[in-house]
Structure formats: structure tokens, C-alpha cells
Amino acid sequence: MLASMSIFPIRTFGDPVLRSRAGEVAQIDDSIRRLVDDLIETMRDAPGVGLAAPQIGISKRVVVFDVGDGPKALINPVLLETSGEWVFEEGCLSVPNRFWPIERPAFARARGLDEFGEVVEYAGEELLGRVLQHEIDHLEGMLLIGRLERRVRKQALRDLREEALGLDQ
């Protein structure tokens, strides 16, 4: 762990950084390791089970997650395989206090680099599989709202706009 970890504000729906594809990490150095530490600290503070760099305003392909067995980092991750299906009430730190039943593959396997440049692979069903898919979506500029059925998505967007304008009082 590097010294002086920071907790960052989490960017929320409407922030343009959440809608664009994050850039590849060309070199893993102390700045990337510090970013990993900051992401872990911010995720824990939120609290959440996963966080992607764009969610703190940094457009780099870095995610962290902790589904109960300690924090892990994935840099430049690639989703290698998915299978099955699982509907789950999914939420997102960038769309706070909102949850929707979202169908995703039940299993996912992803490969990337850890904060030391070593190739790592994570695979799992249900929560781990969902977290891997959700965080990699963030790197592609996709929020979970984009995974909703059209009618539900339209209502969710309407609700979020009204909330942003203070019309939901």
C-alpha cells in the first residue's frame, strides 16, 4: 500500500466521464498503484463492492472490487467468457439509492493485470460474475441504466431527471 490514500467523490449519472470509453493503461507505475489504492479506499467508504476509475473522474481502464475475500484490482480487463442468466436487483454507486432487476449472465471470467503488472484472471458466478460485468461496463461508458428494458429505462431516466431538477419533492 502506498501512503496517503484518498477518498474521492463518486461521479453520478449525468457526468460525461461515465458515458465515454476509458483509455488503456500504457504503463503500470506508482501513479496507477496509487489510483488502485484510492479506488479501494473510496469503494470501502461508499460502501460498495466494486468501483471503476471513471466513477471518480479518471478515464482509465482500472477497476477494483471486493466480494468478501479482500480487494482485487483489474487493469485493462477483458471479459473472456460469460454464461447462464441471473436476474438480480442491481445498484450502482453512480446512480445512488436506485436498484432495478437486471438480467445478466450468471457466470463471468475476466483477465487483466494487477497493480504490479502481473496477469490475473477472475471467474465466478452470481455476485463476482455480476461485479466483473458491471465494472467492465463502466470502462465502456455504459451505466446499468443501459441494461434496463426500454420501458423501465425511460421511466428511470424520467425519474432521474426529475430528481436532478428537484421536481421529486
Positions marked active-site: 135
Strand-pairing partners, residue 111, are 78, 121
Strand-pairing partners, residue 121, are 111
CA angle, 101 then 78 then 29, to 5°: 120
Own/partner pairs, 67-71, CB within 8 angstroms, 24+ separation: 67/124, 67/127, 67/128, 67/131, 71/40, 71/43, 71/44
Residue for cell digits 447462464? 84
